[in-house]
Amino acid sequence: MQSCWFGDVEAGQCTPFTGDAAACARRVREIRTSMDAFVPLDWQQAVACGVCRDRAEYLALLQKVCIAGSEQAVREQYAAKDVELLQMVRTLDEMDTVTNVLSERVADWYQIRHPSFSRKYRRTPAHVLVKSISELNRERGGGGGALGKVATEITSLADARTALAKEVSARACDVMPNTSALIGGLVAARLLSHAGGLKELSRLPASGIQVLGARTALFAHIRTHAPSPKHGIIFQHRRVHNAPREVRGKVARVLAGKLAIAARLDYYRGCAVPAFLDDAQARIDRAGTVEGEGDKQQ
């Protein structure tokens, strides 16, 4: 018997499938056919099955089934638990970019108004200066002019960014409990964003996770034979950036290996696994202390 979207064909006899376009779309996804015995079906067999009267009607019905199938796929895609987290962390990164650019612009603007501040400005971070201008604008009741208003808006955006960061971290702990337990919610969310989703992250090898986010350095290594990157986003985690330089690469490799396992646990189980986390934490600690000291002595 050969099954298709409009019915089942066996020994020259066709049994039509009764159902609307959505039901036909679900049927298409459930059909499993051996390619060894597969014979393509055409519109004439659908006519013989009584599903349609001619080729035009067959194509119209097939179009409805395809549209229904696409709608179901989109609905399932947006219902995944990591979809909103992806948008949240990408928004967070965009807010960081916008805030930094605007802060630097306001600092340059302030320097033009106060040339004597030039030497001091070199030692004052832009975001600190923007916050000071914003506070001064509030004290004057909004009388700080356009510069004060812009600085106030940047400060409000920075506050919104801080609140969003907390939500991203909390959501990452819910979506990726094992990965977040190893490297923290924010770093885990950024790994998810660069990978494109939890499914994609769970399929990456440890070596891919280790350099995820180091695209520029990786391409420089390929093109110019510059030193290969030892870490990407995971450098933001304290276990990596606080490790001694001589063992930092080893810590990054061990951490990436455990993250590869954690991502698979998050995708297929969806819950924290305490036994794995305890073993992973101990292994990462050893990579940065005992093993690292042994390598240094050698």
**pLDDT on residue 192:** 94
Residue 43 in this model has a pLDDT that exceeds 70: yes
What does the DSSP 8-state code read for residue 51? S
- More confident position, 38 or 43: 43
Tokens (6 digits) for 7: 């019915």
- Residues 7, 16: Cα–Cα separation, whole Å: 4
DSSP SS3 for 4: strand
Per-residue pLDDT tens over the stretch 111-163: 888 777 765 556 778 888 888 888 888 887 766 788 889 999 999 999 999 99
What pLDDT, on a 0 to 100 scale, did the predictor assign at position 294? 42
Per-residue pLDDT at 291: 44
Q: What confidence tens digit (pLDDT) does each residue in 216-247 have?
A: 666 565 677 666 666 678 888 888 888 888 88
Local structure of 114: helix, strand or coil: coil
Rounded to the nearest integer, the mean pLDDT of the chain is: 84
- Give the whole-angstrom CA distance, residue 63 versus residue 21: 9
In the structure, what pLDDT confidence band is assigned to residue 205 with cuts at 50, 70 and 90? very high
How many CA within 13 A on the CB side of residue 279? 9
Q: Sign of the CA dihedral 247, 250, 252, 258?
A: negative
Fold type of domain 176-297:
Serum Albumin; Chain A, Domain 1 (1.10.246)
Residues 6+ apart with CB under 8 A from 109: 147, 150
Domain boundaries, given as residue ranges, for the chain: 2-79, 83-170, 176-297
Residues in the chain: 298
